[in-house]
Structure 1
Amino acid sequence: MFYTTGTTGNPKGVYFTHRQLVLHTMGGAATLGGVDTPRLLGSDDVYMPITPMFHVHAWGIPYVATLLGLKQVYPGRYEPELLVELWRKEKVTFSHCVPTILQMLLNAKSAQNADFGGWKIIIGGSSLNRSLYQAAKAKGIQLTAAYGMSETGPLISIAHINDELQASSEDERITYRIKAGVPVMLVEAAIVDLQGNVLPADGETQGELVLRAPWLTESYFREPEKGAELWADGWLHTGDVATLDAMGFIDIRDRIKDVIKTGGEWISSLELEDLCSRHPAVREVAVVGIADPQWGERPFALLVIRDGHQLDAKGLKEHLKPFVEQGHINKWAIPSQIALVTEIPKTSVGKLDKKRMRLDIIEWQKSNSAFLSTL
């Protein structure tokens, strides 16, 4: 048993049986080992986890690595310079981490002239945006997005590229590589509406992602009421807004609690973060909804700017205008206020701490902080 990080609420205890962990390990080994998919992990790999050991069984992959009998390297401290040193010294070929850690690794001084060719990294915990994918690829890193939760043990899906997509353009392949991916063996996924009705898997219709698999947590420790909510209608409810397409690809659009509800319309904070991150001045970005007396909520962007660059709310608007014209977002999705910060709040496992951000923004607005920029 362990506790969730409490990204959207209070931490809750999730628990698993030995049988569930064995099944999860076997499913992970089959998926990563190349059963009906390109092989990502084998006995000849050198494995170095870059996720805390206390976080959802370190994503369950240490058990997979042990089952496959490969060399394992444990860094202890997740410091970018140390990680680069261990990668070089131990000839690491396989890792997994959240996007924030990867960003820190790529920004490390020792990584600037490094060629990480042959290093395969699974990204999860938060969405993988296109800019980070391309930055890692330029360094030789092969990224694969995956999806899971504390409640799911965690592995649910992985973004393997099938034969049909291999024949598509590079831009199209990237679009699919940064999605949550296709459910792994023994996992059943669907999207449902507020009444629990299953919605079409057409890649467009959005609903809550619900799951079934033999290794999902049964409930929350000493919180049976919340456990019953988790398992309403016989499905585990993820709390994520998603689409499902005909190829089985899950695309997470946002957390239900993070969707920005403005004037009766929904805005995806994840999509805004991806588009904002494509500005050359932006090193890191987070978008949250803040209360607005007229619209209910409005998007607010926190930005970490690269050295030697400048950006304000008007500059960000100009950057986002082409995406409005191309139909990616509506014009009301453009943040009307931004904050230029040196660091974006994160949880103990490196995920964006949007609860903390909302509280910080309220204080900044009360004090009319100088680093706020408004349209």
Structure 2
Amino acid sequence: MIQTKLIPRTAEAVEPPMLIKTLLAQSTKYEPQREIIYRDLFRMNYVEFNRRVRQLANVLTDLGVKPGDTVAVLDWDSHRYLECFFGVTSYGVVLHTINVRLSSAQILYTMNHAQDKIVLIHEDFLPILSAIKDQLTTVEKFVLISDKVYTDPIAVGDLPTGFSGEYEALLGNASDQYDFPDFDENTWATTFYTTGTTGNPKGVYFSHRQLFMHTMGLATYVCGYQAVPFSSVTDVYMPITPMFHVHAWGFPFLATMLSTKQVYPGRYEPELLLKLLLKEGVTLSHCVPTILNMLVNSPVANQVDLTRWKVIIGGSALTKGLAKGALELGIQVYQGYGMSETAPIMALSQLNDLERNLPVDEKVDYLTRAGRIAPFIEMHLMDDEGNFVPHDGHSLGEIVARGPWLTQGYYEDPECGAALWKGGWLHTGDVASITPDNWVLIADRTKDVIKTGGEWISSLDIEDLLSQVDGVAEAAVVGLPDERWGERPHALIVQKPGAELTAEGIKSGMQAKVQLGELNKWYVPDRILFVPEIPKTSVGKIDKKRIRSEMKDLILQ
């Protein structure tokens, strides 16, 4: 650390901390009349939203929650979840966003490990609670969330045993006067758990300062540099990513700060998503490729106007086949890159003035890259010896990063935290190259690179090739052991409705490219299996661990 000269401070001077409540305070300054909508059940403006956030803080106080405690939420994407993003954290309490797609045993582990004190739970998830309630070690009270209050309040009926009240009723009886306090901006704000290939889920955590800075970085990139053109005046935001997954990629914080019109769809139902998209004029969403793939291949997609819709894809790679299919429908698609540990945005497919005017086929090459490095993020490539690799667009290395919003470790897991930050850089586990103009080109996850015939090949590259075969809706590729070559690629393919593909036909097409010198021979899969669906993880990523296991069993039969 170099010797510097610090600015003098007047004793009475105040420098407000970077807190989530500061983001909330902006929402009523300029466009308080804009709306936040939940399904076709509830709508409110930002004045009402701020009132409900204050009521939630008073509810927590009445339930005995104190700053530093942890409040857990199990809900669909809703206005209530958005209220918790602000009302729980601004109260100085840690918000635990529970991944409802984990197994009951994993959810139990995360709740006990995070030391949840109060649990807000939608009635749809009560069966999960019933299976684990007697094994919870720190939870003191439960609050019921029910959508029936919007249609037939009487139908809510008696509360389940041990519940302190129903969310809307508790808010309705709470005072709407509350002054959120100032506290250290490094105060713990949120936690959630990320699953790996082995062991228990790991607790990721973020401070108020980190989430404030992530919001500023996101605003700089999408509102300033127009990586994904976003305007609070003309855009309407609707997440199609679970809010338990990395804060819905941080967009709810940004949209609320800008008092953007927001739409929350609750449980994902294709017909309702489309209805909300059209009725409320949604222009910006984000989702995993699976959701977009379902829409692009839906018979309804060609019957509606989707030309105003911008969609950011994350979680898994956006293939050229899917990108072209979306663009043909008028959907503007973009790739994002990040991970749970990075809050998550580290790159978006930001096109500069020259790239923006390219023909569609050339533009797709850029839109399906991981993206350009985000503002305020420092990213490098590192080899196995810890040396930096040149950003020449060809040399490969593991992506390592630093930035103002990257998690500092894993909760009560110093060993994994030290491995994450080995050498003072956050290690992503992704192998990539970086171009001189800051484009990130993901080659693969370190564990998914296929080592065959003395060469390293990318499972993502093969998936991209297969996605462009006419009739292929989705593809997944894994490497499996091979006595002669070390490993060989094997593929799962989901066909589009009405398609009649064969494994031999697909291989023949790839072999023809090999003969023409357009494709490396090692990229042709040994086996192609057709399946009705590809296994996914709890957050919608292709589950390659499960695929490897199941395909290995098939080969051994």
What's the TM-score, normalizing by structure 1? Answer: 0.93
Higher Rg of the two aligned structures? 2
1:101-158 C-alpha deviation (Å, 9 max, x unpaired) = 1011223343231220110111111111111111111111111111010000000011
Counterpart of 2:194 in structure 1 is: 4
Q: Give 2:459's match in structure 1, choosing from 249, 253, 269.
A: 269
Closer, same or farther in 2 for the Cα pair 1:366/1:272, shift >3 Å? Answer: same
**Distance in structure 1 (CA, Å) of the matches to 2:506 and 2:230:** 38
Is the 2:453–2:522 contact (alpha carbons within 8 Å) kept by the matching residues of 1? Answer: no
Closer, same or farther in 2 for the Cα pair 1:112/1:35, shift >3 Å? Answer: closer
**Distance in structure 2 (CA, Å) of the matches to 1:34 and 1:9:** 41
Matched, 1:179 2:369: yes
* SS of 1:300 mapped into structure 2: strand
**Distance in structure 1 (CA, Å) of the matches to 2:423 and 2:529:** 42
* Aligned sequence identity (%): 54
Matched, 1:310 2:500: yes
Counterpart of 2:268 in structure 1 is: 78
Counterpart of 1:19 in structure 2 is: 209
**Distance in structure 2 (CA, Å) of the matches to 1:4 and 1:79:** 25
Is the 1:7–1:347 contact (alpha carbons within 8 Å) kept by the matching residues of 2? Answer: no
Is the 2:457–2:523 contact (alpha carbons within 8 Å) kept by the matching residues of 1? Answer: yes
Counterpart of 1:240 in structure 2 is: 430
Mapping for residues 125-204 of structure 1, pairs under 5 Å? 125-204=315-394
**TM-superposed deviation, 1:8:** 7.7
**TM-superposed deviation, 1:250:** 0.5
Matched, 1:97 2:287: yes
Is the 1:281–1:309 contact (alpha carbons within 8 Å) kept by the matching residues of 2? Answer: yes
Counterpart of 1:336 in structure 2 is: 526
Counterpart of 1:225 in structure 2 is: 415
Closer, same or farther in 2 for the Cα pair 1:351/1:227, shift >3 Å? Answer: same
Letter in 2 for 1:171: D
Closer, same or farther in 2 for the Cα pair 1:167/1:359, shift >3 Å? Answer: same
**Distance in structure 1 (CA, Å) of the matches to 2:516 and 2:393:** 18
Is the 1:147–1:181 contact (alpha carbons within 8 Å) kept by the matching residues of 2? Answer: yes
Closer, same or farther in 2 for the Cα pair 1:58/1:167, shift >3 Å? Answer: closer
**Distance in structure 2 (CA, Å) of the matches to 1:36 and 1:306:** 34
1:52-73 C-alpha deviation (Å, 9 max, x unpaired) = 1111111111111111110111
* SS of 1:350 mapped into structure 2: coil
**Distance in structure 2 (CA, Å) of the matches to 1:328 and 1:161:** 27
Closer, same or farther in 2 for the Cα pair 1:99/1:85, shift >3 Å? Answer: same
Is the 1:288–1:299 contact (alpha carbons within 8 Å) kept by the matching residues of 2? Answer: yes
Closer, same or farther in 2 for the Cα pair 1:38/1:225, shift >3 Å? Answer: closer
**Distance in structure 1 (CA, Å) of the matches to 2:198 and 2:358:** 37
**TM-superposed deviation, 1:13:** 1.2
* SS of 1:254 mapped into structure 2: strand
Matched, 1:108 2:310: no
Mapping for residues 270-309 of structure 1, pairs under 5 Å? 270-309=460-499
Q: More displaced, 160-169 or 31-40?
A: 31-40
**Distance in structure 2 (CA, Å) of the matches to 1:36 and 1:119:** 15
Counterpart of 2:65 in structure 1 is: none
**Distance in structure 2 (CA, Å) of the matches to 1:95 and 1:266:** 35
Higher relative contact order (CA 8 A, sep 6+): 1
Closer, same or farther in 2 for the Cα pair 1:290/1:331, shift >3 Å? Answer: same
Is the 2:227–2:348 contact (alpha carbons within 8 Å) kept by the matching residues of 1? Answer: no
Counterpart of 1:255 in structure 2 is: 445
**TM-superposed deviation, 1:366:** 3.7
Closer, same or farther in 2 for the Cα pair 1:86/1:206, shift >3 Å? Answer: same
**CA-based RMSD:** 1.7
**TM-superposed deviation, 1:37:** 5.1
Runs of 4+ in 1 over 4 A off after TM superposition: 7-10, 325-328
Is the 1:81–1:108 contact (alpha carbons within 8 Å) kept by the matching residues of 2? Answer: no
* SS of 1:73 mapped into structure 2: strand
Q: More displaced, 191-200 or 166-175?
A: 166-175
Is the 1:145–1:179 contact (alpha carbons within 8 Å) kept by the matching residues of 2? Answer: yes
* SS of 1:23 mapped into structure 2: helix
Is the 2:226–2:350 contact (alpha carbons within 8 Å) kept by the matching residues of 1? Answer: no
Is the 1:120–1:141 contact (alpha carbons within 8 Å) kept by the matching residues of 2? Answer: yes
Counterpart of 1:211 in structure 2 is: 401
**Distance in structure 1 (CA, Å) of the matches to 2:244 and 2:357:** 40
Counterpart of 1:371 in structure 2 is: none
**Distance in structure 1 (CA, Å) of the matches to 2:205 and 2:196:** 16
1:313-341 C-alpha deviation (Å, 9 max, x unpaired) = 32121222344356554102210111111
**Distance in structure 1 (CA, Å) of the matches to 2:238 and 2:228:** 20
Closer, same or farther in 2 for the Cα pair 1:327/1:186, shift >3 Å? Answer: farther
**Distance in structure 2 (CA, Å) of the matches to 1:347 and 1:261:** 24
Q: Give 2:542's match in structure 1, choosing from 352, 366, 371.
A: 352
Counterpart of 1:372 in structure 2 is: none
Is the 2:227–2:349 contact (alpha carbons within 8 Å) kept by the matching residues of 1? Answer: no
**TM-superposed deviation, 1:15:** 0.7
* SS of 1:147 mapped into structure 2: strand
Counterpart of 2:97 in structure 1 is: none
